Structure 1
Amino acid sequence: MPPWPGLGRRLWWLALAAPLLAGLDRAPLTPLGQGPRLLDDQLVQTFFQLRGARPAPADPVILAIDADSLELGELLAPGERQASPLWRQMGPWPWTRALQARLAAHVLEQGAARVLFNIEFSQPSRFGPADDRAFAATLAPWRERVHLAAVYAVQEEGGLVQSRLRLPIHPLGAPGLTTLLQSPRGVVEAVPGQDWIQARLGDFPPPLPRPMAFLVRPAAPPPAPMGLDFPGPAGTMPRVPAWKLLEAPPSTWRGRTVLIGVTAPGLGDLQETPFGPMAGTEIQAVALANVLQGRGLGRLPLAGDGLLLLGWGALAGLQLRRPASAGGTLRLALALAGAVLLAGWAAWAGAWMRLPLAALLLAPVAGGGVRAVGQGLAESRERAYLHQVLSRRVSPTLLRDILRSPGPLWNQAVGSRARCAVLFSDLVGFTPLSAVLEPAELFALLNRYFEAMAGAVLEQEGLLDKFIGDAVMAEFGVPRSRGDAEEARSAVRAALAMQERLEALNLELAAAGTPPLRHGIGLHFGEVIAGNLGSSQRLEFTVVGASVNVTSRLEGLTRLFPEHPILVSGDLLALLPGELEVLPLGSHRIKGWPVPLEVYALQGLRPGEAAPG
């Protein structure tokens, strides 16, 4: 008989202690801390999703350089544009600095407390020195109330990593550092604290810029990062499109902080948040609102985390020693994990405090699981011995009753890594059309579109993951895979079929007098985490990971190449050598992806390949 009892008693204590030690690795600097850190991020994202959106604060207000403001030439007739001096100057990005200064001057004249630009002005204007002079002259009356962006960047040149701090060239109010900290999963989570600023910017000449969010209060930033409390998904924060500036009443701006920045998705400034992709300007607005309201998410100091983890480890260990059966140990471990989740939710939602939940959660699960395995092996040996002793003395039915497990089996569902093709499709320019359609017409049109797109995916045995507004997300290769090449081929066929069906739908819409639809499709192949996500009341099978974000960014690049509605990554193209007709579009740096991504426009299948169904 193996010496399990003595060994098991030591192993389960080690299993209990390992997550607690990992919880102290905040960076994380070692592999031991990476797993809990990733789980912490997922738990926080789940908390946001369970809470859902809440009313947005009134301050700050975003003066948004949105897609409509950049496409006035398509939205308004030439005569309509001439009716407004601002409209005449608006068009594709970039705008003149003189125009941007006029936007800021207008809201300041209407009583805005301050204006912050989430736009970099570290180089002279491409429109010439006169443009810079006009910018400075227009904003001179409010010199101390206008703040420009300071940008910190890390670049690798010749094998050397160089840090650069790009400050604005215009001497207005104190510049604001636009850097926001991301989790290991690439989700924006915090504003840097004073410790981060000293560590990263300490070698630059003083005075060092404060984070933009902390320009609204005189006190210095706290030493630790301030976690962001997002009120909801993209579009939650109050905003006024730049092209509607003159329509907003003075009360819109009076006494408020105004953040001017680009929100148009086509310019690529989208970052991942717990509620999905969001423009960097809106994330800065969230940070400003957190500071103004004092709602930023905090953390205990490292010593506080240490005391919390030590105390919880001792309490959980004493409790887990009590059950005499494997089932009882598992049930208690799960109960302790549930208590951790409730306490974490209460601290997060009620006290705006983020606890090291992953370590607190994994400790009883790991320790209880190892102890339950040891108890289960011992019980199995006991049942075998009991069966040997009683098999000749009692009836088979009674023996089965004796040996039957006294309690239910518990399983914790977790995600699993998989490789698959991810497809992301989104309608382009649908917002103006939706604004003029009646709700019944809008829903009918979207349902016709989704019916056509869904059929193309399902016919190629893809998984329809979700519909997000007017976007479609699908995967090929989960939960079962037919091989990487076959799944990539199916994704390509589905994308081509979606484009063909959109063209057919547009013919029907043209006959009915409805403007045609246009969409962009991104295709990428990579690793994801697939599994059930949600709460005990609702579970949804989905995939998460960097590959999903890359596919979304790839679809967003179709705004830069309107003549190419389907873009594929080099990773997917490499799985189908010689099978696709593509047009190289060069390398593009994608947010959240460590290296530039090779992008190709999909033209079709080469002759001899099966056509899409």
Structure 2
Amino acid sequence: MESNTDRKSQAPTRCNLPKSSRNLWRSLNLTKLGYLLIGFWAISGGLTTGVNLGIVQRMERQAQVLFFRLRGQVAPPEDILILEIDQDSLAQGEFYQAEPERYPELEPIQAWPWQRTAYAQVIDKLLTAGAKSVSVDVIFDLASSYGKADDQQLQQVLQRYREQIILATSFESFGTEEVQQAQLISPNPIFQAAPKTLGLVNFPIDLDGRIYELANDYDQEVLRPLGLAQEEIPSFAEATLRAAKINSPPSPGRDIFFYGPPGTFKQVSFWHVLDPNNWEVHLKNQTFKDKMVLIGATADSLQDLKRTPFSDTLPGIELHANAIATLMEGRAIAQAFPNNLLRGLLVFLGVAGTGIFLSNFLKRLVAQLLGALGIAVAWGAVGYLSFTYGGIILPTAVPVVAIALTGISCLATGAIRIQLERLRLYRTLGRYVAAPIVNEILTQHADDFQALLKGRKLRATILFSDIRGFTTLSLKLEPEQLVEQLNTYLNAMVEAILAEGGTLDKFIGDAVMAEFGSPISHGEKNDAIRAIRAALGMRRALVELQAQWQEQGQELFFNGIGINFGELIAGDIGSYRRREYAVIGDAVNVASRVEGLTGKLGTDILITESLYQLVQDEVEVVPMGEYQLKGRQENLVKLYSLIGLKGEDPTLYQQVQTSLHQYLGITKK
């Protein structure tokens, strides 16, 4: 058996964790699938953004809605004041109708639609009080139902103040899907003759039904092509600024900078200007001095409500106020990349770069998921900051979604790959390692149990067992009998090892090697005690087998067990086709040499000094002295014959030693 011992001491030991070509191919396929998914999301995000599909526009607009609402209200310029036709003003007619002598000033607003005289009186008062301009978001397209004199009242005021007054005009389309017609609804010609400026109150409506853009280009893009306007008709906002003689700074943007929800701009009820008491207060406070006054409906019953990022029910006059303020302060929001292809390229590079980073630099699945979420949040944060503080729109919704999907794809393919690896390891380790140890390995974090297969140093207990005189036995027994009896013996030895949580490393012919503390350690002393108990279990199992064989008239097997504790190197070692978990090092060689001395010293279990130091409080031993091990020219190794655990009956030990001595004596003859 010296030759067998030499072979097992020289060869690297392995735990039989093969990576078969099928498993490797599955792993490679999953890796390829991961990269394909990364490419898919990157290309999809880039293409949909570059082509500017409707769904992309909707998603990006929803991101802007979120940004506006996260930002909250911003203080608007004080130059703008809304004279609102609110529910309170509409209700004043009831007071006049009940007591006309008491409230004669309310006669022009006794019933809706109001008399043109009401607007004439209010405009005259406002401009007399120092207002820069008055813009009226009411279209006086028909003659007054109150008679010609009523229209003349408004006409006179318009002639008096000329270009300080802006009247509304509107573009409307109607018809069926097959036949579309359009018309421009303008004020009655008697009113247009006075003010030189009209203001178009229409706004472009986006795919989601909300208004985001200024109406600056409506004249050129809609009215002129349809032949509805021979001269320039500016937007209501542009016309108001011209009437107030305010030059707006240039801005490349087209989107409105919304200042807040309904009620953000200062508002005064229309009827306050007609009521003497309220008017005196406003005159005293100079409420309207140097203001651009916008007259328009805010009452829900008048149904002039618009869908905007801040609200689905923003009064139209407040929408105009936001547009005027945007132009006045040069805050129009612009696309960072007006070219759709550039936006698509940015999204593609961002998503692809994220996928490459996640798959190559973040190995833990949780890290990949958190990394993807972090990058998505960071992208969204950059989009929010550039939108809020820079007035720049970056592609946000599509890349954030694509990055999140990329992270989920990396997580999914990684999780599937790890589950396949766990299944493979479970099937393989289950034959060599106790079930609790297998479960403990597989319940660790994916990267932790994968790290077990990488090269690392550790301290563990190594157990070698070999049958005494096996070469002679193999010559005496028939092959079938030898294999059957050997398998019975090895099965009993393996069960004893696995019962104590050991790792069955391998068989070398009749020899068995096991480790305690690799790949999972439960503490050096605990590992050593479990190795001791496993060796004692092997002793008991062999005694039971010997009794059975003796009754059956079969040859008896005797074995030797050597146990050592020390430092070794563990890792995944092998070729491309076959890689196996192996432990190598001097501690392994020492355990093998010690097992070889059991026959010479006439004992079944030998332990080294390094192991004894860990378990001396737990075991009973017989000192065997110091010995020079083959292949080691340095220190002598002190050995102990293991009797058993403290407190155990030594009868079995004595019985085994007697039988072994008799057997060895027979073989030496």
Give the structure-2-normalised TM-score: 0.55
SS of residue matched to 2:213: strand
Q: Which among 339, 351, 356 is matched to residue 390 of structure 2? A: 351
Aligned to 1:601: none
TM superposition shift of 1:220? 9.3
User: What are the Cα deviations for residues 378-412 of structure 1, in whole angstroms up to 9, with x where unaligned?
Assistant: 2221121122112233344443343337389xxxx
Confirm whether residue 132 of structure 1 aligns to residue 151 of structure 2.
yes
Of residues 391, 397, 406, the one that matches 2:445 is: 406
1:312 paired with 2:350, answer: yes
| Residue in structure 2 matched with residue 202 of structure 1 by the alignment | 224
Q: Which shows bigger deviation, 216-225 or 365-374?
A: 216-225
Taking the aligned partners of 2:50 and 2:232, their CA distance within structure 1 comes to: 30
For the residues of structure 1 that align with 2:203 and 2:253, how far apart are their CA atoms? Answer: 10
One-letter amino acid matched to 1:5: T
1:177 deviation in Å?
A: 1.4
Q: CA deviation at 1:13?
A: 0.8
Structure 1 position 22 matched with structure 2 position 56: no
Unaligned ranges ≥5, structure 1:
409-613
CA distance in 2, matches of 1:62, 1:407: 64
Deviations 1:514-543 (A, max 9, x none): xxxxxxxxxxxxxxxxxxxxxxxxxxxxxx
One-letter amino acid of the counterpart of residue 14, structure 1: F
Shift of 1:337: 0.5
2:298 corresponds to 1:263: yes
Identify the match of residue 74 of structure 2 among 31, 51, 54.
54
Aligned 8 A contact 1:61 1:259 in 2: yes
3-state SS of the aligned residue for 1:252? coil
Q: Per-residue deviation at 1:232?
A: 2.4
Question: 1:229 aligns to what?
Answer: 257
Separation in structure 2 between the aligned mates of residue 238 and residue 357 of structure 1, nearest angstrom: 33
The structural deviation recorded for 1:320 is 3.1
Contact 1:344/1:354, CA 8 A, preserved across alignment: yes
> 1:390 maps to what in 2?
429
Task: Quote the residue 1:284 is aligned against.
Answer: 320
Given the superposition, is the C-alpha separation of residues 185 and 158 from structure 1 closer, same or farther in structure 2, using an over 3 Å criterion? Answer: closer
User: CA separation in 2, counterparts of 1:51 and 1:299?
Assistant: 18
Secondary structure of residue in 1 paired with 2:350:
helix
Aligned to 1:70: 90
Structure 2 residue 62 is matched with structure 1 residue 42: yes
More helix, by proportion: 2
When residues 147 and 7 of structure 1 are mapped into structure 2, their CA distance, relative to the original with a 3 A threshold, is: same
Aligned partner of 1:298 in structure 2 is 334
Aligned CA distance change for structure 1 residues 405 and 142 (closer, same or farther; 3 Å): farther
Contact 1:226–1:297 (8 Å) recurs in 2: yes
**Is 2:214 the counterpart of 1:175?**
no
Note if 1:337 corresponds to 2:369. no
Asked if structure 2 preserves the Cα contact closer than 8 Å seen for 1:64 and 1:240, the reply is: yes
**Residue 147 of structure 1 aligns to which amino acid in structure 2?**
I
Distance 1:75 1:39, change over 3 A: farther
Give the partner amino acid of 2:61. Answer: D
Return the letter of the residue paired with 1:230: F
* Residues 64, 242 of structure 1: 8 Å contact kept: yes
Contact 1:193 1:224 in 2 (8 A): no
Do the aligned residues in 2 keep the contact of 1:154 with 1:161 (CA within 8 Å)? yes
How many pairs are equivalent? Answer: 400
Question: C-alpha deviations, 1:424-450, integer Å up to 9, x for none?
Answer: xxxxxxxxxxxxxxxxxxxxxxxxxxx
Can you list the C-alpha shifts for 1:474-532, whole angstroms capped at 9, x where unaligned?
xxxxxxxxxxxxxxxxxxxxxxxxxxxxxxxxxxxxxxxxxxxxxxxxxxxxxxxxxxx
Counterpart of 1:374 (choices 410, 413, 425) is 413
CA contact (8 A) 2:86 2:298 kept: yes
Q: State the 1:213 CA deviation.
A: 1.5
Q: Could you tell me which amino acid in structure 1 is paired with residue 413 of structure 2?
A: G
Instruction: Indicate whether 1:106 and 2:129 are aligned.
Output: no
Query: Structure 2: how far apart are the matches of 1:101 and 1:397?
Result: 92
1:39 and 1:398 map into 2 onto residues whose CA distance is 50
User: 1:23 touches 1:358 (CA, 8 Å); kept in 2?
Assistant: no
Secondary structure, counterpart of 1:260 in structure 2: strand
Kept after mapping to 2: 8 A contact 1:86/1:243:
no
Deviation at 1:272, TM superposition (A): 2.5
Per-residue CA deviations over 1:564-606 (Å, capped at 9, x if unaligned) read: xxxxxxxxxxxxxxxxxxxxxxxxxxxxxxxxxxxxxxxxxxx
Q: Aligned equivalents of 1:365 and 1:260: distance in 2?
A: 47
Q: CA deviation at 1:313?
A: 4.0
> Please, which of 199, 202, 215 is the counterpart of residue 192 of structure 1?
215
- Using the alignment, how far apart are the partners of 1:267 and 1:221 within structure 2? 34
- Is the alpha carbon distance of 1:74 and 1:390 closer, same or farther for their aligned partners in structure 2, counting shifts above 3 Å? farther
- Give the whole-Å Cα distance in 1 for the aligned partners of 2:62 and 2:435: 49
Between the aligned residues of both structures, percent identity stands at: 26
**CA distance in 1: counterparts of 2:379 and 2:121, whole angstroms:** 52
Name the CA distance, whole Å, in 2 between partners of 1:229 and 1:14. Answer: 35
Per the alignment, in what secondary structure is the counterpart of residue 115 of structure 1?
strand
Alpha-carbon distance, 1:63 to partner: 0.8
Q: How far is the alpha carbon of 1:311 from its aligned partner?
A: 4.6
Kindly report which structure 2 residues correspond to 1:436-455, keeping only aligned pairs within 5 A, or say none: none
AA at the equivalent of 1:292: M
Cα 1:217–1:318 shift into 2, 3 Å: farther
Deviation at 1:224, TM superposition (A): 7.0
Higher alpha-carbon deviation: 149-158 or 285-294: 149-158
How far did 1:339 drift? 0.5
Q: Letter of the aligned partner of 1:175 in structure 2?
A: L
Q: Could you tell which deviates more after superposition, 218-227 or 181-190?
A: 218-227
Q: Report deviation, 1:189.
A: 1.9
Show the counterpart of 2:455: none
* Matched AA of 1:111: G
CA distance in 2, matches of 1:192, 1:116: 16
The higher-RCO structure (CA 8 Å, 6+ apart) is 2
Contact persistence 2:216–2:238 (CA under 8 A): no
Deviation at 1:83, TM superposition (A): 4.7
Deviation digits for residues 143-196 of structure 1, max 9, x if unmatched?
A: 1111111212221248301232222232213211111233333232221342x5
Decide whether the 8 Å contact of 1:347 with 1:354 is kept in 2: yes
Q: What TM-score comes out, normalization by structure 1 length?
A: 0.60
Q: Give, in whole Å, the separation in 2 of the partners of 1:75 and 1:291.
A: 40
CA distance in 2, matches of 1:216, 1:47: 28
Q: Does 1:165 align with 2:184?
A: yes
| CA deviation after TM superposition for structure 1 residue 329, in Å | 2.4
Please tell me whether the aligned partners of residues 148 and 173 of structure 1 are also in contact (alpha carbons under 8 angstroms): no
Secondary structure of 1:191 counterpart? coil
Q: Structure 2 vs 1, CA of residues 77 and 217 (structure 1 numbering), >3 Å: closer, same or farther?
A: closer
Give 1:251 deviation, angstroms: 1.9
Give secondary structure in 2 for the equivalent of 1:92.
Answer: coil
Aligned to 2:288: 253
Which residue matches 1:328? Answer: 367
The question of whether the paired residues in 1 share the 8 Å contact of 2:133 and 2:164 is answered with yes
Q: 1:240 aligns with which of 241, 263, 268?
A: 268
Q: Deviations over 1:105-144 (max 9, x none)?
A: 2111111111111111233333333332221112212111
- Which amino acid is 2:202 matched to? T
